[in-house]
Amino acid sequence: MDKIQRNERIAVLVKMLSDSPGKIFTLGSFAEMFGAGKSTVSEDIDIIQKLLDKFELGLIETIPGASGGVRFIPTMSKAGIKDILGSLCTELSKKERLLAGGYLYMLDIIYNPEVIGNIGRIFTANFYSKQIDYVITVETKGIPLAFITAKYLNVPLVIVRHNNEATEGASVNINYVSGSSKKIQTMVLSLKALKRNSRLLFIDDFMKGGGTAKGIIELAKEFECEVVGIGVLIETAEPVKKLVDNYLSLLTLNNAIEDESIIDIKPSIL
């Protein structure tokens, strides 16, 4: 094989790392691929990191130890986050999005790959240091958000259902009280879905009272697991006191009045 030049190595490294965010690559595997020394590959990685820092596109984390290596973590600059959340607020403030009961139509946003990709990067930047083992969500609208976050963190996605599925085998069922309607609802998760003593990140599209998040925390205990992070796209300003603490919301819906066509939504984290 012809000698591979540095610019060629860097192009391939950027492609491989960005295509598999969260995945750990060993320097040895790169060195073997390029027919180069580990020190040479390490210098290439340093150049890539400097470029990522310059344009605030993410970071390359070094994992120490015999099984360690490097992995790419997608992040976003504060200016980028501000632009993304500002654009979302502008779009979600359109009066035609108002639904009965003060809810907003969001399906076109939730299923837009570009928008969801940006939201996933924001969640990833905030939670990657939590040593997440699984991203968990509840069917159905939270799935795209949770899926892209799981991809960026390179961990499995677990979907909690409201009814038993015969194809999932024996399951754990719990009842929980909705934080908004105060109605009793059911959560179901297969016994095979989680390994014991895992660290979970709960991602959802909307939080009103926090009942769903609290239910996930209780369900996790049945598997001897811990919810170490909670991220939601939108929370409502009321009630002020949620049923859970220590969560991250990206947007806050302060008011939605159908009769007056008023939607007051603002970024939560800027």
End-to-end CA distance of the chain: 51
- Average pLDDT score, the chain: 93
Counting Cα atoms < 13 Å in the Cβ hemisphere of 249 gives 22
Instruction: Express as a percent the part of the chain with pLDDT over 90.
Output: 84
Helices (H) and strands (E) in the chain, counts: 8, 12
Contact assessment for residue 181 and residue 226, using Cβ atoms and an 8 Å cutoff: no
pLDDT at 183: 83
> How do residues 170-187 score in pLDDT, each as one tens digit?
999 999 987 666 789 899
> Quick check: helix, strand or coil at residue 263?
strand
What residues pair up with 185 in beta bridges, in sequence order?
176
Structural Rg of the chain based on CA atoms: 21
Tell me: pLDDT of 102 over 90: no
With a threshold of 0.85, does the pTM exceed it? Answer: yes
The domain locations on the chain are 6-74, 78-267
Q: How confident is the model at residue 199 (pLDDT cuts 50, 70, 90)?
A: very high
Residues 6+ apart with CB under 8 A from 41: 9, 13, 27, 30, 31, 34
Tell me: pLDDT of 168 over 90: no
Q: How confident is the model at residue 226 (pLDDT cuts 50, 70, 90)?
A: very high
**Alpha carbon distance 44, 11 (integer Å):** 10
Tell me: pLDDT of 13 over 90: yes
The hierarchical CATH code for the domain 78-267 is 3.40.50.2020
Instruction: Express as a percent the part of the chain with pLDDT over 70.
Output: 99
Q: How confident is the model at residue 156 (pLDDT cuts 50, 70, 90)?
A: very high
The fold adopted by the segment(s) 6-74 is: Arc Repressor Mutant, subunit A (1.10.10)
Residues 6+ apart with CB under 8 A from 74: 18, 21, 57, 58, 120, 121, 124, 125, 152
What number of other Cβ atoms are within 10 A of residue 227's Cβ? 21
Question: Is it true that the peptide bond before 140 is cis, omega within 30 degrees of 0?
Answer: yes
Instruction: Give the mean model confidence (pLDDT) for residues 156-176.
Output: 90
> How do residues 248-262 score in pLDDT, each as one tens digit?
999 999 998 877 788
Contacts 24+ apart (CB under 8 A), 170-175: 172/219, 172/222, 172/223, 174/215, 174/218, 174/219, 174/222
pLDDT at 1: 59
pLDDT at 266: 97
> How do residues 109-136 score in pLDDT, each as one tens digit?
999 999 999 999 999 999 999 999 999 9
What does the block give as tokens for 79? 């200016």
